Amino acid sequence: MRLTPDAWIFWEHGFFKLNATLVFTWALMAVMVLGAALITRRLVTGHQRSRWQNLLEMVVTTIVGQIKDVGLKEPRRYLGFLGTLFLFIGAATLATVIPGYEPPTASLSTTVALALCVLVAVPLFGISGQGLAGYLASYMRPTPIMLPFNLISEMSRTLALAVRLFGNMMSGAMIIAILLSITPLVFPIVMTALGLLTGMVQAYIFTILAAVYIAAATRNGEAAPGP
């Protein structure tokens, strides 16, 4: 039994290797991009539109609404990053219903990569939002003594993001694998359904937490009116 799809290696040459994480990631990317391209190729602006267009519009507007609810003033600016986070993690979870599929998010490498993206994106959005000085000053609020704690907080929350998602996804896949070996008929289906729910919740949590971090970085001055 593999603990992570990273261990499922198709090809390897020195540092480079082609493992199941990358392959399933590309497959997901292909399906998502091709599906979106196919649907958005025939978008209409009238009152009568296809159910697929309705679905995409519903998904996009819901994500925009969630980002706005978090407190980000210009949700469309963050839609590309946060929306893709949610859709990728959600799609990776939904695909677990396909036999033989292993979600890339069950790989700690993937979750670390996503957490690193968040780690980098937060200061970038923060700096573009309130300037370099303003963003750096936010680490010394309320007092400069808090600087190391803030830095530790950055690191620990990034690690928490990565491990939380990995743990949930990996455990779900592991439970299903174990149950398949014990009771191959009913329980795996129930646990797969539970895994779908858990995965969607994790996608939501990951995205919302990233949005909260970005919101905290972009409006740090506004959020700290004084002692």
Subset of 149-178 contacting another protein (CB under 8 A):
166
Cite the beta strand spans of 166-215 per DSSP E: none
Per the structure block, which two tokens stand in for 89? 């993690």
216, amino acid identity: A
CA separation for the pair 16, 93 (Å, rounded): 26
Q: Out of 69, 76, 140, 159, which residue is the one contacting another protein (CB under 8 A)?
A: 76
Stretch that binds another protein, among 46-54, 122-130, 135-143, 186-194 (CB under 8 A): 46-54
SS (H, E, C) 151-162: HHHHHHHHHHHH
Strand partners of residue 17: 12
CA separation for the pair 186, 212 (Å, rounded): 39
Q: Is 138 in the site for another protein (CB under 8 A)?
A: no
DSSP for 33-74 reads HHHHHHHHTT---SS---HHHHHHHHHHHHHHHHHHHHT-S-
Q: Is 207 in the site for another protein (CB under 8 A)?
A: no
Q: Is 88 in the site for another protein (CB under 8 A)?
A: yes
114, amino acid identity: L
Q: Out of 80, 184, 226, 227, which residue is the one contacting another protein (CB under 8 A)?
A: 80
Per the structure block, which two tokens stand in for 198? 């858990």
In angstroms, give the least distance from the CB of 119 to another protein: 11
Q: Out of 27, 94, 95, 113, which residue is the one contacting another protein (CB under 8 A)?
A: 113
Q: Is 83 in the site for another protein (CB under 8 A)?
A: yes
In angstroms, give the least distance from the CB of 34 to another protein: 9
Q: Out of 81, 125, 206, 213, which residue is the one contacting another protein (CB under 8 A)?
A: 81
Q: Out of 71, 84, 187, 205, which residue is the one contacting another protein (CB under 8 A)?
A: 84
Strand partners of residue 11: 18
Q: Is 114 in the site for another protein (CB under 8 A)?
A: yes
CA 203 to chain CA centroid, Å, is 5
Q: Out of 33, 97, 124, 140, which residue is the one contacting another protein (CB under 8 A)?
A: 33
In angstroms, the first-to-last Cα distance of the chain is 54
- Residues near another protein, by CB under 8 A: 3-4, 6, 15-17, 19, 21-22, 25-26, 29, 32-33, 36-37, 40, 43-47, 53, 56-57, 60-61, 76, 79-81, 83-84, 87-88, 104, 107-110, 112-114, 116-117, 166
